[in-house]
Amino acid sequence: MKLLTHIVKNEWKSLLRGKWVIGYGLIFLLLTDSLLRFGGGGAETLLSISNVMLLFIPLVGMIYGILYIYQSKEFVELLLTQPINRRVLYWGLYLGIATPLMSAFIIGAALPLAWHNILLLDGSSAALVLGLGGILTLIFVALGFVLGLFFYDDRIKGFGFTIVIWLFLAILYDGLILLMVFAFGNYPLDRFVIIVSMLNPIDLARILVMLEFDISALMGYTGAVFNRFFGSNLGILVSGGMLAIWLALPSWIGLRVFNKKDF
Amino acid sequence: MIEVEELKKSFGNLQVLKGMNLSIPSGQATGIVGPNGAGKTTLIKTLLGLVKPDSGTIRVMDTTLNGDWLYRKYIGYMPQVARYPENMKVHELLDFIKGLRDQEAVYEEELIDQFNLKPELNKPLRTLSGGNRQKVGATLAMMFNPEILFFDEPTAGLDPRSSHKFKQRVQSEKENGKTVIITSHIMSELEQLVDHVIFILDGKIRYYGSMQQLLDQSKEERLEAAIARMMESDDEVSA
Amino acid sequence: MKTLIITIFLFLTLVSANFAQIVVSADGPISSLSEAIELADHGAHIVVESGTYRESQILITKKVTLTGVDLPVIDGNQSGNIFVVRADSVVIDGFKIQNTGRSYIRDYAAVLIEGVSDFEIKHNQIDNVFFGIYLAETKRGLVTNNTIHSYDLREASSGNGIYLWSVEDPVITHNTVSGMRDGIYLEFATNAQIYDNISNHNNRYGLHYMFSNGGRYDRNQLRQNGAGVAVMYSDDVDMTNNRFEHNWGSSAYGLLIKDIRNSTISGNRFYRNTVAIYSEGSTNVDIHGNDIELNGWAVNIKSNSARNRFTDNNFIENSLDVRTDSPRNNNFFDGNYWSHYEGYDLEGDGIGDVPYRPVSLFSMIIERQPESLILLRSMFIRLLDSAERIMPVLTPKTLMDENPKMQRISRIL
């Protein structure tokens, strides 16, 4: 544990000095502040942030994760020759780079929300949006890590897959769902669309945003499965649980790859 | 000290280590030579635990390696390419590694003096010259006074003065009874530093023994020539 | 002289008899309200001490003022009506009225007022009743500061909180109604004034107009009712400054308007309803200066609605803005603020330079495949919608706001 915090602390220090992460936080700070300043109320601003978050955090997180692997190859190899457990080193490096990025988003967006009083007025909605952004950061940095470890010696391939995975999860996936819905429109599809949406972490986060802001629309739909899912706590519990699995899965795969890898 | 039995490793279809046997006693200074792609780096990475062998056993300081990591406290490693986090300062890097190892850095001051690193301590690593970065690497490898020292092409980026200092330092480590393992392309350098040679060719150990013996056998004056002759004779055999 | 004295004496006794206070108390000489009313003369003031009185069908056929001290309980014992008012200018003030009868044939009420005028029903707490306050064929009259609550969650077997049938000029203010079928239900009422009431958690409508023309409802809070608020087959109704909130369900509306004409909906706040405003067959309704925020659909307007004007409203982060069932458009949208508007304002006059089309492609997709609702707020859907807005193919071409505001319209309170 001491070793883990030692590694995490060191990563924080060198990332903060890199200013890149601070710049990233500043972007969210300026964005949130200007949204609030130019006429947006709490819900409007939070929804705009969540739109930006759902689109860009996955991309930034993955690129950031993979870039770290590529830029720190030699350093990581040096660390691997030290008398420490690979597992501890992995978690140290992962948490050490994912948590600063996560914090940059959360703090960057939360500060304007605080000084425009939204945190008090719409506290739970704000916490949800910021929390989801944080979780997405962790998930996609881990995915970037996995891709970096997988394509350790082939950066072009690594970045290529990053972009393709992002395009797929952030945009195309929902297009495919829509296509399926129209292709099999004569069958009851409630259960199907819910399950399929649960398999994409970006959709999961989007559904949790919907549960907060669009529940009135969701209740307008007559399907029993939908109503049971969205109308009770079931939706929140299942989506939250799936998101937790998504949080664990890429970082766990990353750990397995890291443990087995020949550097 | 280091014992290797039937060590095999392939990457995909490429068999890199084709069954190596090796025993390096403590206190011996050994040079590993061989053409590019012969398996030198893989051998060292396997000994360091960076690469996991397909089969065979490795024992280091009486620990049989099987996902162990504690044995590495006996090892200091100086990599060929020294790249560190750009914004980290030299002293922070030293502190960071010290925090990881939980061992006393007995030679830290001494090495910093010896390599003239004092004025560099507060500079970010990105501003350091290649030579200075190499020296930082050497300091990291030796400051915990480990039993075994691995140097991978250690003098490649060093200026003659630093190179000389480095060799002096290795010499004294050797005299202190440390096991030293060096890979290098510069045979003359190896001649000065090591007394045993492992010659690897095509994933196998072609020669392992004392340097003197090798020179005597091949009736050559210089290591370079002796190795060259060995490779030629191999070609004749296969031809 | 003697006769004069006798005349004055007689006059005084008459006056004192007329304006005498009759006191009802559980352990006093007069222990029932019916008895007191029986004894009372026209215009008498009956004071009811605190306590519990088990009485129903308390028939009031003369002008009296009934005042409760410390909220005496009138318990109808689950049989019949409790108060039945059949005289003008009756006042019932300060009672806790509970446990009416229930029936499938008769509408038993806590207070039934029939065919009279100028009554005042105020400061009563009405609890566990079939109907609360029932006005039939009355004129004028005031119902104020009453609380009505019941517990039957079934729409069919619960009654209405305040029910107005064939009445003129009623004034209904500051009442709180919950747990009834309709909170306030007007049938054939003319010129009703419905102010400052709270009607929440009713099984069907918080407020319900049928064939009721004229009048105004203002500053009412209408929240979490089974189906929201409905105004149907009524003309010239002013609906102002109300709060329609949290009415959820597949057939729940903040406000449903059906076959109404020449009415005004302004200054209201519609917040988190499944559909904020639903219009069917309505004509010439002004929907002006409302805040419509975070609803599922802001407006669902059927094509048989015409000449309705949506102006100066704030449409803020509704899941979907406007839904309609026809490619034609007979209504008018102008000068609203739409938070989904993505246009620009190069002239800097505060009005967007390109029109806003509030019917999105996605809302039409949902119409056909309701399951696709799960894709709300998806990036893919936003791209589709943007493309359709630039080159409308499927959405109504003429349904647009040509002067969308760039900034939320601030309301001076």
ipTM: 0.88
For C187, residues 6+ apart whose C-beta sits below 8 A from its C-beta are: C163, C164, C165, C166, C210, C211, C212
In 3D space, the residue among C311, C205, C300 whose CA is nearest the CA of residue C267 turns out to be C311
Structure token digits, residue A257: 């790859």
- Please count the residue pairs, one from chain A and one from chain C, whose beta carbons lie less than 8 angstroms apart: 119
Q: What is the DSSP letter of C357?
A: -
Question: What is the CB neighbour count within 10 angstroms for residue B151?
Answer: 25
- Closest CA–CA distance from residue B97 to any residue of chain A (Å): 8
Pick from A213, A216, A222 the residue to mutate for testing the C interface (most C CBs within 10 Å): A216
SS3 C185: strand
**Cα–Cα distance between C180 and C155 in angstroms, integer?**
8
Q: Digits of tens for pLDDT over chain C (413 positions)?
A: 566 666 665 555 544 444 578 999 988 899 999 999 999 999 999 999 999 999 999 999 999 999 999 999 999 999 999 999 999 999 999 999 999 999 888 899 999 999 999 999 999 999 999 999 999 999 999 999 999 999 987 877 889 999 999 999 999 999 999 999 999 999 999 999 999 999 999 999 999 999 999 999 999 999 999 899 999 999 999 999 999 999 988 889 999 999 999 999 999 999 999 999 999 999 999 999 999 999 999 999 999 999 999 999 999 999 999 999 888 889 999 999 999 998 899 989 999 999 999 999 998 898 888 888 899 999 999 999 988 888 888 888 889 999 999 999 987 65
**Cα–Cα distance between A198 and A173 in angstroms, integer?**
12
Q: Are B147 and B197 in contact (CB under 8 A)?
A: no
Task: Kindly state the helix (H) or strand (E) to which residue C228 belongs, with its residue range.
Answer: strand C228-232
Task: Kindly state the helix (H) or strand (E) to which residue C144 belongs, with its residue range.
Answer: strand C142-144
**Cα–Cα distance between B145 and B106 in angstroms, integer?**
7
Contact C370 A175 (CB under 8 A): no
Residue C215: burial class (beta carbons within 10 Å; 0-12, 13-18, 19+): buried
- Closest CA–CA distance from residue C182 to any residue of chain A (Å): 21
Q: Does the structure show a pLDDT above 60 at B67?
A: yes
Task: Spell out where chain A has E strands.
Answer: none
For C161, residues 6+ apart whose C-beta sits below 8 A from its C-beta are: C131, C132, C133, C148, C150, C175, C177, C178, C180, C182, C183, C184, C185, C199, C202
How high is the pLDDT of residue A20? 87
Search chain C and give the residue with CA nearest A196. C374
The reply to whether B85 touches chain A by the CB within 8 Å rule is: yes
The reply to whether B84 touches chain A by the CB within 8 Å rule is: yes
**Cα–Cα distance between A97 and A233 in angstroms, integer?**
34
The reply to whether A154 touches chain B by the CB within 8 Å rule is: no
SS3 A205: helix
Q: Which of C250, C339, C374 sits opposite A222 (nearest CB)?
A: C250
Beta bridge partners of C243: C221, C269
Class of domain C23-321+331-338: mainly beta
**Cα–Cα distance between A249 and A256 in angstroms, integer?**
11
**Cα–Cα distance between A35 and A50 in angstroms, integer?**
12
- Closest CA–CA distance from residue A134 to any residue of chain B (Å): 25
Contact A82 B97 (CB under 8 A): yes
**Cα–Cα distance between C242 and C258 in angstroms, integer?**
19
Which chain B residues touch A85 with a CB distance below 8 Å? Answer: 69
Structure token digits, residue C125: 């707490």
Q: Digits of tens for pLDDT over chain A (263 positions)?
A: 788 888 888 888 888 877 889 999 999 999 999 988 876 778 889 999 999 999 999 999 999 999 999 998 989 999 999 998 899 999 999 999 999 999 999 999 999 999 988 888 888 999 999 999 999 999 999 999 999 999 999 999 999 999 999 999 999 999 999 999 989 888 888 888 889 999 999 999 999 999 888 888 888 877 777 778 887 888 889 988 999 999 999 999 999 999 888 88
Q: Are C196 and C220 in contact (CB under 8 A)?
A: yes
Average pLDDT over residues B68-91: 86
Please provide the size of chain A in residues: 263
- Closest CA–CA distance from residue A236 to any residue of chain B (Å): 41
Q: Does the structure show a pLDDT above 60 at B31?
A: yes
Task: Kindly state the helix (H) or strand (E) to which residue A161 belongs, with its residue range.
Answer: helix A155-167
The reply to whether A77 touches chain B by the CB within 8 Å rule is: yes
Pick from C223, C271, C364, C371 the residue to mutate for testing the A interface (most A CBs within 10 Å): C371
**Cα–Cα distance between C266 and B30 in angstroms, integer?**
92
In 3D space, the residue among C399, C389, C311 whose CA is nearest the CA of residue C343 turns out to be C389
Pick from A81, A91, A153 the residue to mutate for testing the B interface (most B CBs within 10 Å): A81
Rounded to the nearest angstrom, the gap between the alpha carbon of residue A178 and the centroid of all alpha carbons in its chain is: 23
pLDDT digit string, tens, across residues B199-235: 888 888 888 888 888 888 888 888 888 888 888 777 6
Longest dimension (CA), chain C: 103
Chains in contact with A via at least 3 Cβ–Cβ pairs below 8 Å? B, C
The reply to whether A217 touches chain C by the CB within 8 Å rule is: yes
**Cα–Cα distance between C124 and C147 in angstroms, integer?**
6
Task: Spell out where chain B has E strands.
Answer: 2-11, 14-24, 29-33, 55-60, 63-64, 75-78, 148-152, 179-183, 196-201, 204-210
Search chain B and give the residue with CA nearest A262. B51
The domain segmentation of chain C, as residue ranges, is: 23-321+331-338
Average pLDDT over residues B17-31: 88
For C107, residues 6+ apart whose C-beta sits below 8 A from its C-beta are: C130, C131, C134, C159, C163
Rounded to 5 degrees, φ, ψ at A204 are -60, -50
Contact B75 A75 (CB under 8 A): no
Which chain A residues touch B50 with a CB distance below 8 Å? Answer: 77, 80-81, 262-263
In 3D space, the residue among C117, C167, C152, C111 whose CA is nearest the CA of residue C134 turns out to be C111
Reading phi first (left if > 0) and then psi (alpha if -120 to 50, else beta), residue C141 is in left
Structure token digits, residue C146: 């009453």
**Cα–Cα distance between C332 and C400 in angstroms, integer?**
8
How high is the pLDDT of residue C413? 56
Q: Are C34 and C59 in contact (CB under 8 A)?
A: yes
Q: Which of B84, B85, B100 sits opposite A82 (nearest CB)?
A: B100
Instruction: Determine the Cα angle at B141 with ends B140 and B142, to 5°.
Output: 95
Q: Which of A171, A194, A220 sits opposite C379 (nearest CB)?
A: A171
Query: Taking all residues of chain B, what is their mean pLDDT, rounded to a whole number?
Result: 86
The reply to whether A184 touches chain C by the CB within 8 Å rule is: no
The reply to whether A10 touches chain B by the CB within 8 Å rule is: yes
- Between strands B63-64 and B55-60, the pairing is antiparallel
> Going by beta carbons, is chain A in contact with chain B, meaning 3 or more pairs sit under 8 Å apart?
yes
How high is the pLDDT of residue C13? 53
SS3 A238: helix
Which chain A residues touch C374 with a CB distance below 8 Å? Answer: 177, 193-194, 197, 207, 226
**Cα–Cα distance between C270 and C277 in angstroms, integer?**
8
Search chain A and give the residue with CA nearest B69. A83
Q: Are A225 and A190 in contact (CB under 8 A)?
A: yes
Q: Are B151 and B115 in contact (CB under 8 A)?
A: no
pTM of the model: 0.85
Q: Which of A10, A73, A84 sits opposite B69 (nearest CB)?
A: A84
Buried b (16+ CB within 10 A) or exposed e, B203-229: bebbbbeebeebbeebebeebbebbee
Contact C272 A215 (CB under 8 A): yes
Beta bridge partners of C199: C177, C222
How high is the pLDDT of residue A233? 85
Residue B61: burial class (beta carbons within 10 Å; 0-12, 13-18, 19+): middle
Rounded to 5 degrees, φ, ψ at C371 are -60, -25
SS3 A94: helix
For C392, residues 6+ apart whose C-beta sits below 8 A from its C-beta are: C357
**Cα–Cα distance between C80 and C108 in angstroms, integer?**
6
Q: Are A62 and A166 in contact (CB under 8 A)?
A: yes
Q: Which of A189, A210, A219 sits opposite C376 (nearest CB)?
A: A210
Please provide the size of chain B in residues: 239
Structure token digits, residue B127: 């501003």
- Closest CA–CA distance from residue C272 to any residue of chain A (Å): 6
